[in-house]
A and B are shown apart, each in its own frame.
Chain A
Amino acid sequence: MELGALLSCLSDQSCLVTQTTSGLIIGMLFFLVASGLTLIFGVLGIVNFAHGAFYMLGAYIGYSAYQVTQNYAIAVISAGLGAALAGALFECLAVRRVYGQNVLLQLLVCYGVVLIADDLVQIIWGSEYLSMGMPETFRLPPLVIAGGFVPPFYIFIICTSSIIAFLLWFLIERTQYGRIIRATATNPEMVSSLGIPTPLIYLSVVVLGLFLAGIAGGLAAPIRALTPGMGFSVLIVSFVITVIGGMGSVSGAFIAAILIGLTRSYGSIGFPLFVDGLIYLLMAAVLIIKPTGLLGEKKADRP
């Protein structure tokens, strides 16, 4: 434990700037993954263990698109669309058949998909470590703000993720589509009896959630090495975020993601050997005190 270091960091402006932005960047990328996870759980009641695989797929598709076009924007969008397309297949061929079934059966389906996805990626892209490389535009020295370092690329990522978070919030809270999916989350029979095709709603939510995972993969591709199975460690952290924020709550995931990001960045100063332990402890504490998470509500039974 290095509490002294933590205290001196908290009283040092440059350290505050660096650590806070690094906490935000860690948190925002995880938020993109966790938001889809929590959305799918909220509406479909499915714990999507295969979410990390779509993050991985997004990163690989983004990598290939960048190789072809040398355009980062196209790469990120292809990553999202690619993951969404794969997600549509995933929903139609697999998830749809286990709606409302035993949780264990749903987990198994996801487990099978993860195993297949990791192997397919290895067969298609090989085992070599791949890295997209920093797009030319962002090959800039870090900005120095109040003595702290902030890379321009991370400002871009934080902004992009925040815009996505806002759009997502707007979509869920302020549009007709949002009202429908919120209604489906609480009472699918009612929605269905109003003549709204719930299977289509389910499909759209899965596609949306996995689109977000793909975007996260694409955005992160310049700074994270691509390897088969890379989705796993991201998935674990995203789960922790989802659980802390409350299963099903997108705003909860947002708060939890930033909380985890800041815990990591300041934790690495104050408790360098216990950063991961700290996060699991945080999750256990939340579950013990408020099992539904920070912003989660007690759900009605799934169909």
Chain B
Amino acid sequence: MTHKSKLLDRRQFLATSVSAATLLASPAILQAKKSDTIKIGMPTILSGVVSILGESSRAGAQLMIDEFNKNGGLNGRPLELITRDSRAKPEEAVKAVRDLVNGEGCKIIIDAEASSGSFAVQEAIRELGVLCLHTVSEATPLSADPKLRVPTAFRSARQGIHDAIGGGAYAAAISREKGLKRWATCSPDYAYGRTTTAEFMEFAKHFNGDIEVIGQVWPKLFQPDFTEVVTKLLQLKPDAMYSALWGGDLVSFVDQSNLYALFGQMEAFAVNLGDYPVLTAVENLPDGIRSGSRYNKKIPDTPENSDFYDRYVEKNKVLPTNWSWENATAMSFIIEALKDVGSADNPLKLAESIKGRKIKSPFGVDGTLTMRSEDNTLVGYAVGYGITTKKEPFMKDFQTTAWDQIFELETKWKKRKGYL
């Protein structure tokens, strides 16, 4: 039988608040010693189905930090990366960012969250006013929609619309060459899958008026079994198929499609196939699937890029991913800005320094990457399509899309969307 009294309630209340306060304060006390380091906070996903996202993001950024620190850091002050596992929950990501800024004293945030998390972080940054680089989210509105923009937030990642223009142009050309008219799509049923697919097909039709979409299937994210999706595609009998599936879902989809010899029956365009973890996981990759660029040692085919690949593999014992280069790039921009401004204390100055900045980079098609000043987003990285192969280098006949063309069509598209 439970007996209660008011006094007890008050005691309980006091006891819990005191213990909670001590628990919460203890990390801050422990951390207080290392004050000369420049702390960079990174909320990301380190557990569950997409933990590889967080691990390769961290590894990409850490590689750059280690090299910078080895060379003396910023006038002797080393950089320190602090990661927080958000478990793919946007509200945890927001809490992590607030804690990193208010509790740890980070003035710089690298947001390695998936799309919904990145939109949540964007709002937190709006309030906190620190420097932020989004490194994973490819959702176009994050930087394209002027309503969502924040002066101190940038995107150092691929952007859906760029890949869509590149992919659309490529698909249109292949379609003309091979007479592919009837298209089907198979993409994950969430915002990224839906917008990327719509944008891809929009540009494919723009470049080739003969293309029509005869059917679309939308498997759920992390669905264990794709059999019904595969057989539905077989029933549709399209000439070609586009898929924005990624990661483990794409691995399962390819494995299960192989059983039905799906790839022999239609031309396949899988934008996210060309990422090492996917390519190496699929045991019997069929020849001739067309993929967009993610990260590849040979794209662009320069000594600097191979060098990044080698250093990354040597340090981490796993292959780099698309997320690795995006986070390494974010770190490069931050380091350049820190060198330029001389300290991390003023986020606005750092943001000013990053805005419009052009850096030398192994990942740029012409050896440079630019943080475009009009919408705080990264341009100049490798966009294009190639044909996947079973063995190294996993990608052949890669065709790079010229950025002039991307810029022109992107501007028109933005006008149509009312972003400009």
Contacts and interface: CB of A to CB of B under 8 A. Distances in A.
Judged by CB atoms under 8 Å, the answer to whether A and B touch is yes
Interface of A: 5, 9, 15, 18-19, 22-23, 25-26, 29, 118-119, 122, 126-134, 139, 141-142, 149, 151, 153-154, 220, 222-230, 232-234, 237, 264-265, 267-269, 272-273, 275-276
Interface string B201-238: 00000000000000011101011110111111011000
B172 interface: no
Contacts of A227: 49-52, 247-248
A233 B249 contact: no
Interface size bucket, B side? 35 or more
B132 interface: no
Interface in B90-116: none
B112 to A, nearest CB: 14
Given A154-B259, A233-B223, A130 B281 contact: yes
Interface stretch (B63-71, B250-258, B405-413): B250-258
Nearest to A30: B225
A26 B51 CA distance: 27
Contacts of A228: 47-49, 51
Nearest to B265: A149
A127 B235 contact: no
B189, B225, B229, B247 — most chain A CB neighbours (10 Å):
B225
Contacts of B231: 18-19, 22, 149, 265, 268
Interface string B34-52: 0000000000000111111
Given A118-B47, A149-B231, A222-B255, A142 B281 contact: no
Nearest to A55: B224
A132 B277 CA distance: 14
Given A132-B283, A134-B255, A272-B216, A142 B227 contact: no
Given A149-B231, A233-B223, 8 more contacts: A19-B231, A134-B259, A142-B260, A142-B261, A224-B225, A225-B251, A225-B255, A228-B48
B185 to A, nearest CB: 11
A62 to B, nearest CB: 14
Contacts of A119: 47
Interface in B150-198: 189
A273 B283 contact: no
B144 to A, nearest CB: 27
B48 A229 contact: yes
B282 interface: yes
Given A26-B225, A224-B252, A233-B224, A128 B52 contact: yes
Contacts of B224: 220, 224, 230, 233-234, 237
23 contacts: A18-B231, A19-B228, A22-B230, A26-B225, A26-B228, A126-B318, A127-B55, A131-B255, A151-B259, A154-B259, A220-B224, A224-B225, A224-B252, A225-B247, A227-B50, A228-B49, A230-B49, A233-B224, A264-B228, A265-B228, A269-B235, A272-B216, A276-B220
Nearest to A5: B235
Contact of B232 (A225, A237, A268): A268
Q: Which 8 A-B pairs give the minimum distances between C-beta atoms? A: A133-B283, A151-B259, A225-B251, A225-B248, A127-B52, A268-B228, A127-B51, A229-B48
Contacts of B234: 18, 149
Given A131-B251, A133-B283, A268 B229 contact: yes
Contacts of B47: 118-119, 122, 228-229
